[in-house]
Structure 1
Amino acid sequence: MSGTLNNATIRTGRSFDLGKMNLRQLWIAYLTYPTILLYFALVIASVTAATWFFAGWGPTLVSIVAVILVYPLAWYLLHRYVLHGRTLYKMKWTASLWKRIHFDHHQDPHLLDVLFGAPVTTLPTIGAITLPIGYLIGGWGAAATAFGTGVAITCIYEFFHCIQHLNYKPRSAWIQRMKARHVLHHFHDEDGNFGITSFVVDRIFGSYYQDAKARPRSPTVFNLGYDVKEADHYPWVMDLTGSPPRDRPDGARPEAKLMRDNTRTAA
Protein backbone atom coordinates (compact mmCIF):
# COMPACT_ATOMS: atom_id res chain seq x y z
CA MET A 1 0.00 0.00 0.00
CA SER A 2 1.70 3.17 -1.15
CA GLY A 3 0.92 6.67 -2.34
CA THR A 4 -2.33 8.54 -2.06
CA LEU A 5 -4.18 6.05 -4.23
CA ASN A 6 -4.32 3.41 -1.50
CA ASN A 7 -4.19 5.63 1.58
CA ALA A 8 -7.62 5.83 3.17
CA THR A 9 -8.69 9.18 4.49
CA ILE A 10 -11.69 10.61 6.26
CA ARG A 11 -12.43 12.66 3.15
CA THR A 12 -12.44 9.79 0.65
CA GLY A 13 -14.03 7.26 2.99
CA ARG A 14 -11.85 4.49 1.55
CA SER A 15 -11.35 1.36 3.63
CA PHE A 16 -8.03 0.59 5.28
CA ASP A 17 -6.63 -2.86 4.53
CA LEU A 18 -4.15 -3.69 7.29
CA GLY A 19 -2.79 -6.57 5.24
CA LYS A 20 -1.42 -4.02 2.76
CA MET A 21 -0.21 -1.34 5.17
CA ASN A 22 3.08 -0.69 6.92
CA LEU A 23 3.62 0.69 10.43
CA ARG A 24 3.88 4.33 9.34
CA GLN A 25 0.62 4.09 7.42
CA LEU A 26 -1.04 2.50 10.42
CA TRP A 27 0.00 5.38 12.67
CA ILE A 28 -1.47 7.88 10.19
CA ALA A 29 -4.70 5.90 9.86
CA TYR A 30 -5.00 5.35 13.60
CA LEU A 31 -4.38 8.96 14.60
CA THR A 32 -6.88 10.30 12.05
CA TYR A 33 -9.60 7.68 12.45
CA PRO A 34 -12.88 9.25 13.67
CA THR A 35 -13.51 6.65 16.37
CA ILE A 36 -10.04 7.10 17.85
CA LEU A 37 -10.38 10.90 17.71
CA LEU A 38 -13.65 10.57 19.61
CA TYR A 39 -11.94 8.41 22.23
CA PHE A 40 -9.15 10.97 22.60
CA ALA A 41 -11.73 13.72 23.11
CA LEU A 42 -13.52 11.64 25.74
CA VAL A 43 -10.28 11.01 27.62
CA ILE A 44 -9.67 14.78 27.74
CA ALA A 45 -13.27 15.36 28.85
CA SER A 46 -12.88 12.71 31.56
CA VAL A 47 -9.70 14.32 32.87
CA THR A 48 -11.51 17.65 32.96
CA ALA A 49 -14.45 16.16 34.86
CA ALA A 50 -12.16 14.27 37.23
CA THR A 51 -10.33 17.51 37.99
CA TRP A 52 -13.57 19.44 38.52
CA PHE A 53 -15.01 16.77 40.85
CA PHE A 54 -11.61 15.79 42.23
CA ALA A 55 -11.96 12.85 44.60
CA GLY A 56 -8.46 13.08 46.07
CA TRP A 57 -5.28 11.38 44.97
CA GLY A 58 -6.01 8.15 46.82
CA PRO A 59 -9.42 7.38 45.24
CA THR A 60 -8.15 8.65 41.87
CA LEU A 61 -5.17 6.28 41.81
CA VAL A 62 -7.18 3.38 43.19
CA SER A 63 -9.84 3.81 40.50
CA ILE A 64 -7.16 3.79 37.79
CA VAL A 65 -5.57 0.61 39.15
CA ALA A 66 -8.96 -1.05 39.63
CA VAL A 67 -9.95 -0.47 36.00
CA ILE A 68 -6.56 -1.70 34.77
CA LEU A 69 -7.04 -4.92 36.73
CA VAL A 70 -10.70 -5.47 35.81
CA TYR A 71 -10.43 -4.61 32.12
CA PRO A 72 -8.70 -7.80 30.85
CA LEU A 73 -11.28 -9.98 32.62
CA ALA A 74 -14.20 -7.91 31.34
CA TRP A 75 -12.82 -8.01 27.79
CA TYR A 76 -12.28 -11.77 28.00
CA LEU A 77 -15.81 -12.49 29.20
CA LEU A 78 -17.38 -10.24 26.56
CA HIS A 79 -15.18 -11.59 23.80
CA ARG A 80 -15.69 -15.24 24.63
CA TYR A 81 -19.32 -15.36 25.71
CA VAL A 82 -20.95 -12.45 23.83
CA LEU A 83 -18.93 -11.77 20.69
CA HIS A 84 -18.34 -15.48 20.09
CA GLY A 85 -21.73 -16.51 21.38
CA ARG A 86 -24.44 -17.77 19.05
CA THR A 87 -27.40 -16.07 20.66
CA LEU A 88 -27.32 -12.65 19.02
CA TYR A 89 -27.50 -13.86 15.41
CA LYS A 90 -30.49 -16.06 16.22
CA MET A 91 -32.70 -13.05 16.94
CA LYS A 92 -33.66 -10.66 14.16
CA TRP A 93 -33.39 -7.57 16.33
CA THR A 94 -29.81 -8.33 17.44
CA ALA A 95 -28.47 -9.93 14.24
CA SER A 96 -27.14 -6.64 12.84
CA LEU A 97 -25.44 -5.91 16.17
CA TRP A 98 -23.60 -9.25 16.18
CA LYS A 99 -22.66 -8.84 12.53
CA ARG A 100 -21.11 -5.44 13.18
CA ILE A 101 -19.37 -6.08 16.48
CA HIS A 102 -17.59 -9.31 15.56
CA PHE A 103 -18.79 -11.46 12.64
CA ASP A 104 -17.56 -9.01 10.02
CA HIS A 105 -14.17 -8.86 11.74
CA HIS A 106 -13.68 -12.62 11.53
CA GLN A 107 -14.93 -12.70 7.94
CA ASP A 108 -12.31 -10.10 6.97
CA PRO A 109 -9.73 -9.74 9.79
CA HIS A 110 -7.62 -7.14 7.93
CA LEU A 111 -10.37 -4.55 7.43
CA LEU A 112 -9.84 -1.64 9.81
CA ASP A 113 -13.42 -0.40 9.43
CA VAL A 114 -14.78 -3.40 11.33
CA LEU A 115 -11.77 -4.02 13.55
CA PHE A 116 -12.64 -0.94 15.61
CA GLY A 117 -15.79 -1.34 17.63
CA ALA A 118 -18.60 1.10 16.92
CA PRO A 119 -18.78 3.81 19.62
CA VAL A 120 -22.53 3.24 19.96
CA THR A 121 -21.71 -0.19 21.43
CA THR A 122 -18.25 0.29 22.95
CA LEU A 123 -18.91 3.44 24.97
CA PRO A 124 -22.02 2.18 26.82
CA THR A 125 -20.10 -1.02 27.62
CA ILE A 126 -17.08 0.91 28.91
CA GLY A 127 -19.37 3.09 30.98
CA ALA A 128 -21.26 0.13 32.43
CA ILE A 129 -17.99 -1.47 33.55
CA THR A 130 -16.00 1.53 34.76
CA LEU A 131 -18.45 4.10 36.13
CA PRO A 132 -19.77 1.92 39.00
CA ILE A 133 -16.21 0.98 39.96
CA GLY A 134 -15.09 4.59 40.14
CA TYR A 135 -18.24 5.85 41.84
CA LEU A 136 -18.00 3.25 44.59
CA ILE A 137 -14.37 4.17 45.17
CA GLY A 138 -14.71 7.95 45.25
CA GLY A 139 -17.92 9.38 43.83
CA TRP A 140 -18.27 11.20 40.53
CA GLY A 141 -14.68 12.39 40.39
CA ALA A 142 -13.34 8.86 40.62
CA ALA A 143 -16.08 7.68 38.22
CA ALA A 144 -14.83 10.15 35.61
CA THR A 145 -11.29 8.91 36.22
CA ALA A 146 -12.36 5.29 35.83
CA PHE A 147 -14.25 6.00 32.61
CA GLY A 148 -11.34 7.94 31.14
CA THR A 149 -9.00 5.08 32.09
CA GLY A 150 -11.30 2.61 30.36
CA VAL A 151 -11.39 4.67 27.17
CA ALA A 152 -7.59 5.11 27.24
CA ILE A 153 -7.10 1.35 27.63
CA THR A 154 -9.48 0.81 24.73
CA CYS A 155 -7.29 3.05 22.58
CA ILE A 156 -4.25 0.96 23.53
CA TYR A 157 -6.12 -2.28 22.85
CA GLU A 158 -7.27 -1.02 19.46
CA PHE A 159 -3.75 -0.03 18.41
CA PHE A 160 -2.24 -3.37 19.38
CA HIS A 161 -5.18 -5.12 17.74
CA CYS A 162 -4.25 -3.30 14.52
CA ILE A 163 -0.62 -4.40 14.93
CA GLN A 164 -1.80 -8.00 15.16
CA HIS A 165 -3.42 -7.73 11.73
CA LEU A 166 -0.83 -5.45 10.15
CA ASN A 167 1.57 -6.51 7.40
CA TYR A 168 4.43 -5.89 9.79
CA LYS A 169 6.84 -7.97 11.86
CA PRO A 170 7.31 -6.31 15.28
CA ARG A 171 10.83 -5.95 16.64
CA SER A 172 9.76 -6.62 20.22
CA ALA A 173 9.70 -10.31 21.18
CA TRP A 174 6.71 -9.64 23.46
CA ILE A 175 4.67 -8.10 20.64
CA GLN A 176 5.72 -10.93 18.31
CA ARG A 177 4.35 -13.50 20.77
CA MET A 178 1.19 -11.47 21.29
CA LYS A 179 0.62 -11.19 17.55
CA ALA A 180 1.28 -14.88 16.96
CA ARG A 181 -1.32 -15.91 19.55
CA HIS A 182 -3.94 -13.57 18.09
CA VAL A 183 -3.26 -14.78 14.54
CA LEU A 184 -3.97 -18.29 15.80
CA HIS A 185 -7.32 -17.06 17.16
CA HIS A 186 -8.28 -15.79 13.70
CA PHE A 187 -6.76 -18.41 11.44
CA HIS A 188 -6.57 -21.65 13.41
CA ASP A 189 -9.05 -21.98 16.30
CA GLU A 190 -11.28 -19.13 17.42
CA ASP A 191 -12.18 -20.88 20.69
CA GLY A 192 -9.02 -19.73 22.42
CA ASN A 193 -6.54 -16.85 22.81
CA PHE A 194 -9.28 -14.30 23.46
CA GLY A 195 -6.93 -11.71 24.95
CA ILE A 196 -5.46 -8.76 23.09
CA THR A 197 -2.40 -7.48 24.94
CA SER A 198 -2.28 -10.24 27.57
CA PHE A 199 -3.33 -13.87 27.72
CA VAL A 200 -3.19 -14.25 31.49
CA VAL A 201 -6.97 -14.62 31.71
CA ASP A 202 -6.88 -17.19 28.90
CA ARG A 203 -4.43 -19.22 30.95
CA ILE A 204 -6.67 -18.97 34.03
CA PHE A 205 -9.76 -20.12 32.12
CA GLY A 206 -7.92 -22.80 30.12
CA SER A 207 -8.44 -21.24 26.68
CA TYR A 208 -4.79 -20.40 25.97
CA TYR A 209 -2.83 -22.31 23.36
CA GLN A 210 0.68 -21.60 22.10
CA ASP A 211 0.78 -22.93 18.54
CA ALA A 212 -1.19 -24.74 15.86
CA LYS A 213 0.09 -28.11 17.06
CA ALA A 214 -1.74 -27.69 20.36
CA ARG A 215 -5.20 -28.33 18.89
CA PRO A 216 -6.86 -29.17 15.57
CA ARG A 217 -7.91 -26.45 13.20
CA SER A 218 -11.46 -25.25 13.75
CA PRO A 219 -13.87 -25.47 10.79
CA THR A 220 -15.67 -22.38 12.10
CA VAL A 221 -12.65 -20.13 12.63
CA PHE A 222 -13.82 -17.68 9.95
CA ASN A 223 -17.59 -17.78 10.39
CA LEU A 224 -17.89 -18.31 14.19
CA GLY A 225 -20.38 -21.11 13.62
CA TYR A 226 -22.63 -19.04 11.37
CA ASP A 227 -22.27 -21.27 8.33
CA VAL A 228 -24.64 -21.78 5.40
CA LYS A 229 -26.72 -24.27 7.38
CA GLU A 230 -27.15 -21.82 10.25
CA ALA A 231 -27.88 -19.02 7.80
CA ASP A 232 -30.77 -21.05 6.37
CA HIS A 233 -32.34 -21.14 9.85
CA TYR A 234 -31.33 -17.62 10.90
CA PRO A 235 -31.02 -15.60 7.67
CA TRP A 236 -30.81 -12.06 9.05
CA VAL A 237 -27.01 -11.72 9.09
CA MET A 238 -26.76 -13.23 5.61
CA ASP A 239 -29.46 -10.89 4.37
CA LEU A 240 -27.53 -7.91 5.71
CA THR A 241 -24.28 -9.19 4.19
CA GLY A 242 -25.89 -9.87 0.82
CA SER A 243 -24.10 -13.18 0.39
CA PRO A 244 -23.66 -16.52 2.23
CA PRO A 245 -21.10 -16.61 5.05
CA ARG A 246 -17.59 -17.32 3.84
CA ASP A 247 -15.43 -20.17 5.08
CA ARG A 248 -12.30 -18.23 4.20
CA PRO A 249 -11.73 -14.46 4.26
CA ASP A 250 -9.93 -12.55 1.53
CA GLY A 251 -6.20 -12.95 1.98
CA ALA A 252 -6.50 -16.07 4.13
CA ARG A 253 -4.06 -18.09 2.05
CA PRO A 254 -1.17 -15.62 2.46
CA GLU A 255 -2.10 -15.25 6.12
CA ALA A 256 -1.64 -18.98 6.68
CA LYS A 257 2.04 -18.51 5.89
CA LEU A 258 2.15 -15.45 8.14
CA MET A 259 0.64 -17.52 10.95
CA ARG A 260 3.36 -20.15 10.56
CA ASP A 261 6.10 -17.52 10.44
CA ASN A 262 4.78 -15.63 13.47
CA THR A 263 4.32 -18.78 15.51
CA ARG A 264 7.80 -20.00 14.64
CA THR A 265 9.36 -16.62 15.48
CA ALA A 266 7.50 -16.26 18.76
CA ALA A 267 8.00 -19.81 19.96
Structure 2
Amino acid sequence: MVVKAFSVDLNQPLVFQVGHLGDAYQEWVHQPIVSREGPRFFKSDFWEFLTRTAWWVIPLVWLPVVSWSILTTIQRGLSPSMAAYLALIGIFVWSLMEYSLHRFLFHIKTSSYWGNTLHYLLHGCHHKHPMDGYRLVFPPAATAILCIPFWSLVKSVVPYTAAPAVFGGGMLGYVMYDVTHYYLHHGRPSQTVAHNLKKYHLNHHFRNQTSGFGITSSLWDSVFGTLPPKKV
Protein backbone atom coordinates (compact mmCIF):
# COMPACT_ATOMS: atom_id res chain seq x y z
CA MET A 1 0.00 0.00 0.00
CA VAL A 2 1.41 3.38 -1.02
CA VAL A 3 0.94 6.14 1.57
CA LYS A 4 0.32 9.53 -0.01
CA ALA A 5 2.76 12.20 1.15
CA PHE A 6 1.27 14.91 3.34
CA SER A 7 0.61 18.20 1.59
CA VAL A 8 0.39 21.53 3.44
CA ASP A 9 -2.71 23.61 2.68
CA LEU A 10 -1.42 27.21 2.56
CA ASN A 11 -4.97 28.52 2.86
CA GLN A 12 -5.34 27.02 6.33
CA PRO A 13 -3.46 27.83 9.59
CA LEU A 14 0.00 26.33 9.17
CA VAL A 15 1.49 25.65 12.60
CA PHE A 16 -0.27 22.38 13.34
CA GLN A 17 0.09 21.17 9.75
CA VAL A 18 3.87 21.30 9.27
CA GLY A 19 4.59 18.59 11.83
CA HIS A 20 2.91 16.05 9.57
CA LEU A 21 5.56 16.61 6.88
CA GLY A 22 8.01 14.41 8.77
CA ASP A 23 11.31 14.02 6.92
CA ALA A 24 9.99 16.18 4.07
CA TYR A 25 9.78 19.23 6.36
CA GLN A 26 13.39 20.35 5.81
CA GLU A 27 13.00 20.50 2.04
CA TRP A 28 9.58 22.18 2.27
CA VAL A 29 10.59 24.88 4.73
CA HIS A 30 13.64 25.89 2.68
CA GLN A 31 11.60 26.54 -0.46
CA PRO A 32 10.71 30.20 0.20
CA ILE A 33 7.49 31.92 -0.79
CA VAL A 34 8.48 35.50 -1.53
CA SER A 35 5.40 37.49 -0.58
CA ARG A 36 4.85 40.37 1.83
CA GLU A 37 1.58 38.78 2.88
CA GLY A 38 2.25 36.42 5.76
CA PRO A 39 0.43 33.14 6.34
CA ARG A 40 -2.00 32.49 9.14
CA PHE A 41 -0.43 30.47 11.95
CA PHE A 42 -3.34 29.68 14.28
CA LYS A 43 -7.10 29.44 14.02
CA SER A 44 -7.37 31.34 17.33
CA ASP A 45 -7.23 35.12 16.87
CA PHE A 46 -5.56 35.48 20.29
CA TRP A 47 -2.63 33.19 19.51
CA GLU A 48 -2.38 34.60 16.01
CA PHE A 49 -2.04 38.12 17.46
CA LEU A 50 0.86 37.01 19.67
CA THR A 51 2.86 35.86 16.61
CA ARG A 52 2.77 39.24 14.86
CA THR A 53 5.08 42.09 15.91
CA ALA A 54 5.89 45.40 14.19
CA TRP A 55 9.63 46.15 14.11
CA TRP A 56 9.33 49.42 16.07
CA VAL A 57 7.92 47.57 19.08
CA ILE A 58 11.37 46.12 19.78
CA PRO A 59 13.22 49.38 20.56
CA LEU A 60 10.09 50.80 22.21
CA VAL A 61 9.93 47.92 24.70
CA TRP A 62 13.59 47.08 25.24
CA LEU A 63 15.57 50.33 25.07
CA PRO A 64 14.08 51.47 28.41
CA VAL A 65 15.28 48.17 29.90
CA VAL A 66 18.74 48.81 28.45
CA SER A 67 18.84 52.32 29.93
CA TRP A 68 17.59 51.15 33.33
CA SER A 69 20.15 48.33 33.45
CA ILE A 70 23.12 50.59 32.68
CA LEU A 71 21.87 53.25 35.10
CA THR A 72 21.60 50.59 37.82
CA THR A 73 25.29 49.80 37.47
CA ILE A 74 26.11 53.51 37.84
CA GLN A 75 23.89 53.71 40.91
CA ARG A 76 25.82 50.77 42.36
CA GLY A 77 28.99 52.83 42.31
CA LEU A 78 30.69 52.36 38.95
CA SER A 79 31.54 55.30 36.70
CA PRO A 80 29.56 56.04 33.52
CA SER A 81 32.61 55.21 31.40
CA MET A 82 33.01 51.83 33.13
CA ALA A 83 29.29 51.15 32.68
CA ALA A 84 29.64 51.91 28.97
CA TYR A 85 32.64 49.57 28.73
CA LEU A 86 30.67 46.79 30.41
CA ALA A 87 27.76 47.40 28.03
CA LEU A 88 30.17 46.93 25.11
CA ILE A 89 31.18 43.59 26.60
CA GLY A 90 27.49 42.68 26.70
CA ILE A 91 27.10 43.61 23.03
CA PHE A 92 30.10 41.43 22.17
CA VAL A 93 28.65 38.50 24.13
CA TRP A 94 25.33 38.94 22.34
CA SER A 95 27.06 38.86 18.94
CA LEU A 96 28.36 35.38 19.74
CA MET A 97 24.94 34.32 21.02
CA GLU A 98 23.34 35.68 17.84
CA TYR A 99 25.60 33.51 15.70
CA SER A 100 25.34 30.42 17.92
CA LEU A 101 21.55 30.51 18.21
CA HIS A 102 21.14 30.99 14.47
CA ARG A 103 23.55 28.23 13.53
CA PHE A 104 22.88 25.55 16.13
CA LEU A 105 19.26 26.12 17.23
CA PHE A 106 17.47 27.96 14.43
CA HIS A 107 18.89 25.55 11.83
CA ILE A 108 18.58 22.35 13.80
CA LYS A 109 17.40 19.38 11.70
CA THR A 110 14.01 18.05 12.76
CA SER A 111 11.60 15.42 11.45
CA SER A 112 9.24 14.57 14.34
CA TYR A 113 5.80 16.16 14.58
CA TRP A 114 6.59 18.43 17.53
CA GLY A 115 10.16 19.04 16.41
CA ASN A 116 8.93 20.36 13.07
CA THR A 117 6.17 22.36 14.72
CA LEU A 118 8.48 24.06 17.21
CA HIS A 119 11.15 24.71 14.60
CA TYR A 120 8.59 26.30 12.30
CA LEU A 121 7.45 28.64 15.07
CA LEU A 122 11.01 29.50 16.06
CA HIS A 123 12.65 30.07 12.67
CA GLY A 124 11.27 27.87 9.92
CA CYS A 125 8.42 30.28 9.23
CA HIS A 126 10.97 32.98 8.45
CA HIS A 127 12.70 30.86 5.84
CA LYS A 128 9.39 29.82 4.30
CA HIS A 129 8.02 33.39 4.21
CA PRO A 130 11.15 35.60 4.41
CA MET A 131 9.32 38.84 3.55
CA ASP A 132 6.60 38.54 6.21
CA GLY A 133 7.15 41.92 7.86
CA TYR A 134 5.33 41.07 11.08
CA ARG A 135 7.33 37.94 11.82
CA LEU A 136 10.85 39.28 11.28
CA VAL A 137 11.38 40.30 14.89
CA PHE A 138 10.90 38.29 18.07
CA PRO A 139 7.65 38.90 20.01
CA PRO A 140 8.41 40.73 23.30
CA ALA A 141 6.54 38.17 25.40
CA ALA A 142 8.82 35.39 24.14
CA THR A 143 11.92 37.57 24.59
CA ALA A 144 10.92 38.35 28.17
CA ILE A 145 10.79 34.62 28.94
CA LEU A 146 14.25 34.09 27.43
CA CYS A 147 15.62 37.04 29.41
CA ILE A 148 15.17 35.11 32.65
CA PRO A 149 17.91 32.49 32.04
CA PHE A 150 20.12 35.14 30.37
CA TRP A 151 19.92 37.41 33.43
CA SER A 152 20.47 34.44 35.75
CA LEU A 153 23.61 33.50 33.81
CA VAL A 154 24.99 37.04 33.79
CA LYS A 155 24.53 37.65 37.50
CA SER A 156 26.07 34.25 38.33
CA VAL A 157 29.35 35.01 36.50
CA VAL A 158 29.61 38.81 36.64
CA PRO A 159 30.16 40.84 39.87
CA TYR A 160 27.10 42.40 41.49
CA THR A 161 27.91 45.98 40.51
CA ALA A 162 28.74 45.14 36.88
CA ALA A 163 26.02 42.60 36.05
CA PRO A 164 23.22 45.03 35.11
CA ALA A 165 25.38 46.90 32.56
CA VAL A 166 26.54 43.66 30.93
CA PHE A 167 22.93 42.50 30.77
CA GLY A 168 21.87 45.86 29.36
CA GLY A 169 24.59 45.66 26.73
CA GLY A 170 23.41 42.21 25.76
CA MET A 171 19.87 43.52 25.40
CA LEU A 172 21.13 46.45 23.32
CA GLY A 173 22.90 43.95 21.07
CA TYR A 174 19.62 42.08 20.72
CA VAL A 175 17.74 45.27 19.76
CA MET A 176 20.42 46.07 17.17
CA TYR A 177 20.13 42.53 15.82
CA ASP A 178 16.34 42.56 15.46
CA VAL A 179 16.02 45.99 13.84
CA THR A 180 18.98 45.23 11.55
CA HIS A 181 17.35 41.97 10.53
CA TYR A 182 14.15 43.78 9.62
CA TYR A 183 16.07 46.39 7.65
CA LEU A 184 18.02 43.77 5.70
CA HIS A 185 14.73 42.36 4.42
CA HIS A 186 12.72 45.53 3.87
CA GLY A 187 15.22 48.38 3.66
CA ARG A 188 16.97 49.69 0.56
CA PRO A 189 20.47 50.52 1.76
CA SER A 190 22.54 52.89 -0.35
CA GLN A 191 25.69 52.76 1.79
CA THR A 192 28.24 50.10 0.86
CA VAL A 193 28.46 48.39 4.26
CA ALA A 194 24.69 48.05 4.67
CA HIS A 195 24.24 47.05 1.03
CA ASN A 196 26.83 44.28 1.33
CA LEU A 197 25.30 43.08 4.59
CA LYS A 198 21.90 42.84 2.90
CA LYS A 199 23.40 40.80 0.05
CA TYR A 200 25.17 38.62 2.63
CA HIS A 201 21.95 37.85 4.48
CA LEU A 202 19.79 37.30 1.40
CA ASN A 203 22.45 34.88 0.15
CA HIS A 204 21.75 32.86 3.32
CA HIS A 205 18.05 32.76 2.44
CA PHE A 206 18.11 32.16 -1.28
CA ARG A 207 21.45 30.56 -2.21
CA ASN A 208 23.22 28.82 0.67
CA GLN A 209 21.27 28.24 3.86
CA THR A 210 24.06 26.27 5.54
CA SER A 211 26.42 29.25 5.85
CA GLY A 212 26.32 32.97 6.59
CA PHE A 213 24.71 32.76 10.04
CA GLY A 214 25.72 36.25 11.18
CA ILE A 215 23.07 38.97 10.93
CA THR A 216 24.70 42.16 12.19
CA SER A 217 28.14 41.13 10.92
CA SER A 218 30.10 38.27 9.39
CA LEU A 219 32.65 38.25 12.26
CA TRP A 220 31.81 34.86 13.75
CA ASP A 221 31.30 33.26 10.34
CA SER A 222 34.91 34.24 9.64
CA VAL A 223 36.09 32.87 12.99
CA PHE A 224 34.26 29.53 12.71
CA GLY A 225 34.63 28.95 8.97
CA THR A 226 31.01 29.35 7.90
CA LEU A 227 31.47 32.13 5.37
CA PRO A 228 29.47 31.50 2.18
CA PRO A 229 31.56 30.09 -0.67
CA LYS A 230 32.77 32.68 -3.14
CA LYS A 231 31.18 32.68 -6.58
CA VAL A 232 33.32 30.96 -9.16
> Where does residue 90 of structure 1 map in the other structure?
112
Report the count of equivalent residues.
183
**Alpha carbons of structure 1 residues 91 and 149: separation in structure 2 relative to 1, 3 Å:** farther
> Where does residue 148 of structure 1 map in the other structure?
168
Classify the secondary structure of the residue corresponding to 2:164. Answer: helix
1:45 is aligned with what amino acid? W
5+ unaligned residues in a row in structure 2: which ranges?
1-34, 38-53
> Where does residue 67 of structure 2 map in the other structure?
44
Q: Distance in 2 between matches of 1:178 and 1:130?
A: 30
Post-superposition offset of 1:44? 3.5
Pairing 1:1-267 to 2, within 5 Å after superposition: 17=36, 30-31=55-56, 33=57, 35-56=58-79, 60-87=83-110, 90=112, 92=114, 95-129=116-150, 132-133=153-154, 136-139=157-160, 141-166=161-186, 168=188, 170-209=189-228, 211=230, 213=231
> Where does residue 43 of structure 2 map in the other structure?
none
Post-superposition offset of 1:111? 1.0
1:182 is aligned with what amino acid? H
1:99 is aligned with what amino acid? Y
Q: Distance in 2 between matches of 1:147 and 1:114?
A: 25
TM score, norm. by length of structure 2? 0.66
If asked which structure has higher relative contact order (CA below 8 Å, sep 6+), I would say 2
Q: Distance in 2 between matches of 1:104 and 1:72?
A: 23
Identity among equivalent pairs (%): 24
5+ unaligned residues in a row in structure 1: which ranges?
1-15, 19-28, 215-267
**Alpha carbons of structure 1 residues 58 and 162: separation in structure 2 relative to 1, 3 Å:** closer
Q: Distance in 2 between matches of 1:134 and 1:61?
A: 17
**Alpha carbons of structure 1 residues 117 and 96: separation in structure 2 relative to 1, 3 Å:** farther
Q: For each residue in 1:61-103, what CA deviation from the matched residue of structure 2 results, as whole angstroms up to 9, or x when unmatched?
A: 442232222222211111111010024x6362x5543222201
User: What is the RMSD of the two structures over their aligned residues, measured on CA atoms?
Assistant: 3.0
Kept after mapping to 2: 8 A contact 1:63/1:137: no
Classify the secondary structure of the residue corresponding to 1:203. Answer: helix
Post-superposition offset of 1:106? 0.5
TM score, norm. by length of structure 1? 0.58
Q: For each residue in 1:126-174, what CA deviation from the matched residue of structure 2 results, as whole angstroms up to 9, or x when unmatched?
A: 55446534653331x4222122212211111112111211152x12111
**Alpha carbons of structure 1 residues 144 and 192: separation in structure 2 relative to 1, 3 Å:** same
1:83 is aligned with what amino acid? F
